[in-house]
Every structure is written in structure tokens, then in C-alpha cells.
Amino acid sequence: MDEQSPDRVRAGWAPFLQEGRRVVIRSAIDRSRSPHGESMTDALGTVIATDEESVTVMTRRGEVRVPRVLIIATKEVPPPPVRRVRDAAP
């Protein structure tokens, strides 16, 4: 399969990037605009929208739109752990 083959899987096109799935997406960022010189960032949350150009994830901090061409790696993750309620001190 060569680079121009229509069957070639492109970056950012994981089959599980569908609405309702919980994922983590690692994507590239502009190093000159990041506060500490980072070159990548992660978005952890539920996919709320997808289209040909981007994936939108609802994180704890709000919606994050990730352009597909900047996606480096992604995977589906399990639901967040249930927080336990502490017993009150006697």
C-alpha cells in the first residue's frame, strides 16, 4: 500500500472517535504559543461532535475542538471512577 492509496488510514481517523465515546486525544500545539514550551497536549473526555476536519470533546474544563490533522494519538478509555463519599468523623 503506497502513500497515495485510498485505503491508507490517515491520522486522526480512529474508528472509535464517535459521539458518546470517552477518549483521550493527544494533539500537537504551537510550541511558541504554549506557556512552558510544550509541543503536545491531551484532551480527556466524551466525544460530542465529529466532522471531516475536527473532533470536539467535552472535558471537565469545557469543550475542546481538536483539528484532525493535529491528532498524534488517541484511544478509548473507561468511564471515570466513581468518587467515594467519606464517612463523617465520630
What CATH number is attached to the domain comprising 49? 2.30.30
Q: What total of structural domains would you count in the chain?
A: 1
**Could you list the residue range(s) of the whole structural domain that residue 52 is in?**
22-76
Alpha-carbon torsion 32, 74, 69, 55, what sign?
Answer: negative
Question: What pTM value is reported for the model?
Answer: 0.74
Percent of the chain whose predicted confidence (pLDDT) is above 90: 54
Q: Is residue 34 part of a domain?
A: yes
Q: What is the DSSP letter of 60?
A: T
Question: Which residue is associated with the grid cell 459521539?
Answer: 19
Which alpha helices (DSSP H) does 1-90 contain, by range?
A: none
pLDDT band at 1 (very low <50, low <70, confident <90, very high): very low
